[in-house]
Structure 1
Amino acid sequence: MAPASPSTARALNDRLALRLLQSEGPLTAGQLKTLTGLSRPTVADLVERLQGSGLIHVVGEAGAARRGPNARVYGIVAEQAYLAGLDVRMDSVEVVVTDLLGTRLAEASAPVAAAADTETAAHEAVALVERAAREAGVTRLHSIGIGAPGLIDPATGDLRDSSSLPAWHRRLVTVLQERLPAAIQVENETNLAALAEQRLGAARGFETFVMIWLSFGIGAAVVLDGKIRRGASGGAGELGFLPVPGTGGLPSKDSCDGGFNSLAWSPGAVRLAAEYGLSPAPDDGELPGAALIRTAVAAVAAGADGTPEDAFLDAYADRVALGAAAVAAVLDPGCVVLGGEIGRAGGAELARRVQDRLTRLSPLHTEVRATELGGQAVLRGALLAAQQSAQDALFPTGT
């Protein structure tokens, strides 16, 4: 392989320094030299270049003596780009606006009228983004990350048509592009939650892991060698269609009834709880299956071993372990993170019980962990996607 040209080497060094300033925070030139392994003159040159391009600036001085140039602390100019992250639900949208460093400047959420037509609903969602940007004092968003249920077409990056999703979901990106001149990244909600858990939460330190999403529907995010894997058609992780024992049937190409979904999704958890004489509390906005799991975990924490709540948790953990064992046998991920509303409600207690059963089912060592980011996982992942998009555009890469 031919050595890198001087211009490419400079661009690579600049990008390395910017990444370090992004991950480690403000640094002196001396600290950059230590962390990059570059020579002092090379670091001095790249600091001058990055200051000249407006990407970094002096944010203070280090040390009690404040020794002048050598003590200057450099940081990324956060105002270089403003970002938005969207968590798109079936009937609502949540938005966060940040600067390039991730400092939250404004947040907003609102329902999207179920009776609204496709165009009206999409414009309602975009208006929420515009309102959050105004509240943040931002006149232009550089990048927007969107997490939504459904499959992403690996060829186009667009949401694929699905009869189970509102039509306004697929119209949303087009309306955003019409009204806001920003780079837009759309990704499946579970994939974004997994990205956030890897960078900030339960999967830190794992380059390969699977996140099982336990909610009204069942899915999974597959991360192999540090990368989200979507599969040939975008369907990698459609764990709800997995044929498993105990469902009384088999899934079909048109429905995951009879698959793992029937065992582990919220209605399945409700039916299972009824076998133990348990029923969800009156609707308070929480997913019924999650409410039942949360109540059972609280009862066990209060010392209710051997009770119907304890038995229900065991039975539900048995079900989740079936899906986790299939994942372990095929992918050997080393780590499974339980996410979604039910995974969040079950927390460490559910994860522990699934771990016990998985250890008996599979010869492959697989850690089972509960989500650490909870209900913020999708939004945090959307912001990370927007941040990555902005960095790729702003930080030099060389040619």
Structure 2
Amino acid sequence: MSQYRTFTAADAVEYARQFGGVDNPDSLVDSLEVGDGNLNLVFKIFDTQGVSRIIVKQALPYVRCVGESWPLTLDRARLEAETLIEHGKFCPEHTVKILHYDADLAVMVMEDLSDHAIWRGELVKGKNYPLAATQLGGYLAQTLFHTSDFFQHPYQKKKDVIRFTNPELCDITEELFFNEPYEQHDRNAYPRELERLAEALRDDEELKVAVAGLKHRFFSNAEALLHGDIHSGSIFVAEGRLKVIDAEFGFYGPIGFDIGTAIGNLLISYCAAPGLLVPREAADAREQRLNDVRDTWNSFAEGFLALAAEKSTDRALATPGYAREFLGKVWSDTIGYCGTELIRRTVGMSQVADIKNIDDRAMQVECVRQAITLGRSLILLANHVPDIDALIMRIRQNG
């Protein structure tokens, strides 16, 4: 893209003045680069009072944590902005607001969420947000139903599948979720003490067949416009409020992938709690994470079924009983993808603060062991866990 240039802090301020929609653009005077992700520059833009007012985000043409040896398409900025705009049509209360985006510069301007906190960080500290899981399930119900065949006209759905085709970012997911953790790979980053457990994953043919099936459905089941990477680090929370950000992995895929990824991160927090908190607080946090898992699924399923009963536009899909049957398939996918999220966050390169912030090495290894073991069990049992109560029981049995 000939117009592309990497923004400096001063560039970000000037851009926010032009496109931030503030009443007095000249009041925006400073910026701070706060991006800690793998792919982007993120600037907070401050006014003369030192208050953060606007966020400017720019995609880089490579994977930031690796460097220019891993190039990436800048079109992901368009995909992220358009995914969030589309999701915002149906769930504005839980989707970050995009104020402006420029495909040539791979830049977007969005609302500032400084009065929120990143959910993962709050989970690491043991802080609970009682409404967050229910709100997350509601977001998933609204966005996934309204971009599915239940609601979209077939012509529009097919056009949108093309518009949101995201091969390069999907390739990253396909490698990190479904390939690398089950083979010897330089990017894998599990504790050396768990080499035999990692080797067992590589040698488990039944497991690898199940993972292949999950990958195949990820390839081929264009069920709805997914966020594509919805974990506790891409969710902001405040008392009674929740906002989803970072949708650059958005594409049309299997509904269970988004739900499984979200629940998988709650279970990473569940596994990590004993290494992060004192015993009584850890026990309470683990019970709360199980409640969050239950609330996320129930809120999604109840919301999806209610929307299907009220708003299904396809005559066949509106047949009484079909939406519930469809959710049975989504449920099995959810459990399987939940398992792959647990394994990719502990065996693969995408390590998270829940695990990295555990100071005691032996405890960290034990928490990772539990997450890997639980992930493997969920992948293998995905078609044999009938409901959310049975899933909670299985998780408790894992230890």
Q: Give TM-score, length-normalised by structure 1.
A: 0.26
Which protein is bigger by CA-based radius of gyration? Answer: 1
Q: Which has the higher strand share?
A: 1
TM-score, normalised to structure 2's length? 0.26
